[in-house]
Amino acid sequence: MVYQILSQSDLCDYYNLNENPGLSQRIKVRKDKFSFLDDEKIQLQLISFRDDKQVHITFYLPQMHCSSCLYLLENLHRLDGGVISSKVNFTRKEVDIVLLTDKTSLRKVAETLTSIGYEPYISLNDLKEKRPVIDKSMVYQIGVAGFAFGNIMLLSFPEYLGIDATETSLRSVFRWISFGLAIPVLLYSALPFYQSSWKSIKHKFLNIDAPIALAIIITFIRSAYEVISGTGGGYFDSMTGIVFFMLAGRILQDKTYRQLSFERDYSSYFPIAISVLKDNKEVPTALPDIKPGDTLLIHHEELIPADGILTRGKAFIDYSFVTGESLPVLKEMGEIVYAGGKQTEGNIEILVVKEVTQSYLTKLWNRDEFKEQEENKKVSFVNILSRYFTYIVLTIAAATAVYWQINDPSRMWPAVTAIFIIACPCALFLSNTFTNGNVLRILGRNHLYLRNAQTIEEMAGATHIVFDKTGTLTSTQQQDIVYEGLALTAYQLHQVAALADSSNHPLSKALAKHIGKTKEIHVEGFKEITGQGIEGLVNNDLLKLGSYEYITGEVNRQPGTAVYISFEGELFGYFLFNNHYREAIPSLINELKKEYHLSVLSGDNTAEKDTLQKLLGKKATLLFHQKPEDKLQYIQYLQNQGEKVMMIGDGLNDAGALKQSDIGIAVAEQTNNFTPSSDAIIEAKQLSKLTKFISLCRANRNIVIASFVLSIVYNVIGLFFAVQGTLSPLIAAILMPSSSLSILLLTFGSSSLIARQMKL
C-alpha cells in the first residue's frame, strides 16, 4: 500500500536509498482519527503561523529513523499538492510543513503522513503553551568571551615579553584595547555567574559561583585601575580566559539530550481529542473540554482519557500502562473504567464521571509533594567544598592585609586583590563541570541518559534500589510458556496453533508464536468470547482454548496466567504463561545484592513470588498488587528511614514512585519510546551494565576531588607570589591556562580511562 502511493508519485527511489527503509506499517489507521484537525479551536493551538493562504505547522513524527525518511518527508509536496514545503529536523524528529489552505487541509496532510507510515504524534501536551525555546544565550556568551580572550592574549605579548622603551606608547594602546575588549566579557559573558550567585545569596547559601563572580569583578577593577593609572597591564587575559573556560565547562555539563524528554506527564500520553457522542453524532472534542456527563466513544486501541462508567459494549482494557498488570481486564456494562487504560477489542462508550484532570491517574501527578520537592533542590558536594575554600581564602586575605598594613601599607591592596584573583575556585569549578560533562557523555554513549549533572551524585549515593517487575525485570515482549497436562501430539499442537492464530488476544498470539506456525490448517466456526476464550472446528475437531471457567464451567482461581485447552469437550491440560526475565537480570541482581538493599514492587499477582525471592535473596522485600500510590508511599517510607532510593521502572504506574525517589530511572525498550518523567532514561538492553554505571558515577566524585587537590597546588604557588605582592602578569598568564588545561586533561583523561577499564 505504501509502495502504491509512492510509485504513483514517482518516489520509488525511496526504496533504493537504504537497505531497510520504512518500518513496516502495522496498523491501518481509522478513517476519522484525525477529524479533530478540522476543528478550528484545536487547529489554532497547534499551528505556528497562518494567514489567508498559508498555514505553518510542526508535526512530531516518532517513526523517523533514517535518511530515506528524510528524503520521503521532504518530498511531501509530490504526495500532496497543497504542501508548499516540508523541512525535517532529524534531531528532534520533527517536520515543519507549510501548506496552502485552499488546496489541502491539516487533516489531509496528517492522513497522508499516516498513510506512508509516519503518523504524527499529537498529544494533549501540545495544547499547553508552546515548548520553551532552547536557551542559546550561553553559546552567545562563550562566543563573545572566546573572541575577547583570543585578542587580549595576542595584545598582551608586550606585557609578557617586555617591549622596547621607545615603543611604550604602543603598549598603552594595547592595554586600552584589552580594557575595551574585556568590558563585554565582564558585563555580558559572565552574567550566568552573577545570576547564579545572586540567587544563592538570596537563599542564604554560598554556592561556588559566588566567589567566582567576586573574583571576576575584583580582577576587572584591579586591572582597570592599573591601565587607567598607567601602572601596569592588568589581568584581562586571565579574566577573559577563565570566563571562557568556565562557560565551556558549563555548556558541556548542561548539554541535554534534545531528542529525549525527562519532563513528561500524563498529557504527553493522552490524545489531544476524542469523539464525543452528541445526538448520535461523533463530535471530535479537545480533552480539556470534556465534562462529566458526556458520552465518549472509545475506538479500538484508543486510550480512555477520563474516568467513566461503561455504557455500551464490552470493555477489554489493557491497563499495563497504569498498573503494570500484563493482561487485559474485562469490564462489563455499568462498571467503572479508569483513565489510562487502552481499549483492545472493539468500540465502547463510556459516560464521563470525572474531568480529565481529576481522574485517578492524573491526580498522581498533581500531588502537592512534588511541587514542594522542586524547590528543595539538593546541594552538590562541590558547593560545600567551595564554601570551605572561600573561608580559607578570606582568612589568608585578611592575614595578608593585616601584615602589609603594618609593614608596608602601599603594598596591601595589590597583595589582597592578587589573592582574590589567584584563589578563585575556578579550578574546582572547571574540574567539576568537565568531569560531569564527560561522564554524562560516556553514559549517553552507553544509552543511559541522565537528566543533569546532579543526577550523577544521586546515582553514586543511592543505598536502596527498588525495581518494578513488569517491563523492568521482565520483558513485555516475551513470555515463557510451559505446557502441563496430558501429552499432546505434534498434530494436536498444530491444531492449537491454528486456532490460537485466529484470535487477536495477546495470549493467543503469544501461544501461536510459541508453538510456531507450520502447516495451514483451516479453522471453521471460529468463535471468540471476549475475556473468556476461543473455540472452533479445526479439521473437524472441536477445540476450545480459554480460562478454566470457560472450558469446564467451574470457577477455579489459581494465581498465574494459564490457558486451558480441551478437545471435544475433554480437558487436556493448560499452558502456563510466565513472565520472561530479561537475560541480564540474574547476574545484575547478584551483583547488586552484595551492596544494596533491594525491593521489588509489582502491580501483578503473586504467581512469581518464589522465583523472585530466590533471585533476589531473602533480605529483599517483595510487594505485589501494588497500585501506583502504594509504590509512591513505599518509596516515601524508605526515605523516611533515611535511605537514598533509586527506583527503576517503566510504565505510567511507576511515574509517581519515579518522581518521589531520589533518582528515578525509566526503562525504555527504545530510547524514542515514551517514558514517564524521571531523572534518567536507560535502554532496556543496557540494564546489565547498571553496576558499572553506578561505579563510574562514584569515580566521578573522586576525580573531581583529585583534580581539586591539583588545583590547590597551583593556587598555593600563585598565593606564594600573591601574598608578597609580586604576582607579575607573566606568571599569572602562565599559571592560569596551564592550571586550567592540566585540570581538563586530568579530568577528561581519568574519567575516560576509568570508563575504558570498565569496558563502557
Partner 1 sequence: MSVIIILLIASISIAGLFLFAFLWGVKSGQFEDDYSPASRILFDDKPTSSTKTE
CA 423, CA 89: separation in Å to the nearest integer?
45
Q: CA triplet 251, 257, 262: central angle to 5 degrees?
A: 115
Binding segment for partner 1 (CB under 8 A), chosen from 22-30, 68-76, 332-340, 646-654, is 68-76
CA 567, CA 488: separation in Å to the nearest integer?
11
Residue 187 binds partner 1 (CB under 8 A)? no
Cβ-based burial of 404 (10 A; exposed 0-12, middle 13-18, buried ≥19): buried
CA 207, CA 382: separation in Å to the nearest integer?
8
Binding segment for partner 1 (CB under 8 A), chosen from 124-132, 137-145, 519-527, 541-549, is 137-145
Residue 160 vs 381, nearer CB to partner 1: 160
Q: CA triplet 571, 573, 575: central angle to 5 degrees?
A: 135
Binding segment for partner 1 (CB under 8 A), chosen from 167-175, 318-326, 328-336, 426-434, is 167-175
- List alpha helices for 449-521, DSSP H: 454-461, 490-501, 506-515
How many helices (H) and strands (E) would you count in the chain?
27, 26
* Those residues with Cβ within 8 angstroms of residue 460's Cβ, 6 or more apart along the chain or in another chain: 694, 697, 698, 700, 701
CB of 150 to partner 1, least distance (A): 7
For every residue of 241-253, DSSP letters joined together read HHHHHHHHHHHHH
Binding segment for partner 1 (CB under 8 A), chosen from 139-147, 216-224, 441-449, 731-739, is 139-147
Binding segment for partner 1 (CB under 8 A), chosen from 138-146, 229-237, 525-533, 715-723, is 138-146
Quick one: which of 1, 3, 8, 13 contacts partner 1 (CB under 8 A)? 13
Nearest to 72 by CA among 18, 1, 26: 18
Quick one: which of 55, 88, 286, 732 contacts partner 1 (CB under 8 A)? 88
Helix (H, G, I), strand (E, B) or coil at 162: coil
Quick one: which of 2, 30, 35, 90 contacts partner 1 (CB under 8 A)? 90
Task: Give, in order, the Cα–Cα distances in Å from 648 to each of 422, 498, 599, 680, 687.
Answer: 45, 39, 10, 9, 10
Q: How many residues bind partner 1 (CB under 8 A)?
A: 30
Residue 91 binds partner 1 (CB under 8 A)? yes
Quick one: which of 1, 3, 32, 140 contacts partner 1 (CB under 8 A)? 140
Quick one: which of 170, 336, 392, 402 contacts partner 1 (CB under 8 A)? 170
- Binding pattern to partner 1, positions 106-135, x when CB under 8 A? ----------------------------x-
Cβ contact 73:88 at 8 Å = yes
Residue 736 binds partner 1 (CB under 8 A)? no
Residue 136 binds partner 1 (CB under 8 A)? yes
Task: Give, in order, the Cα–Cα distances in Å from 207 to each of 251, 259, 567, 599.
Answer: 18, 31, 75, 36
Residue 612 binds partner 1 (CB under 8 A)? no
Quick one: which of 102, 131, 168, 173 contacts partner 1 (CB under 8 A)? 173
Residue 98 binds partner 1 (CB under 8 A)? no
CA 579, CA 599: separation in Å to the nearest integer?
18
Residue 418 binds partner 1 (CB under 8 A)? no
Cβ contact 313:348 at 8 Å = yes
Quick one: which of 1, 3, 12, 291 contacts partner 1 (CB under 8 A)? 12
- Binding pattern to partner 1, positions 234-263, x when CB under 8 A? ------------------------x-----
CB of 365 to partner 1, least distance (A): 30
Binding segment for partner 1 (CB under 8 A), chosen from 98-106, 149-157, 367-375, 467-475, is 149-157
Residue 169 vs 407, nearer CB to partner 1: 169
Binding segment for partner 1 (CB under 8 A), chosen from 147-155, 207-215, 305-313, 601-609, is 147-155
Residue 167 binds partner 1 (CB under 8 A)? yes
Strands 663-668 and 645-649: parallel
CA 539, CA 560: separation in Å to the nearest integer?
31
- Helix-strand-coil percent breakdown of the chain, rounded to 5? 50, 20, 30
Residue 90 vs 403, nearer CB to partner 1: 90
CB of 256 to partner 1, least distance (A): 12
Scanning the structure block, which residue is given the C-alpha cell 591556562?
737
Residues that bind partner 1 (CB under 8 A): 10-13, 16, 67, 70-71, 74, 88-92, 134, 136, 139-140, 143-144, 147, 150-151, 154, 167, 169-170, 173, 177, 258
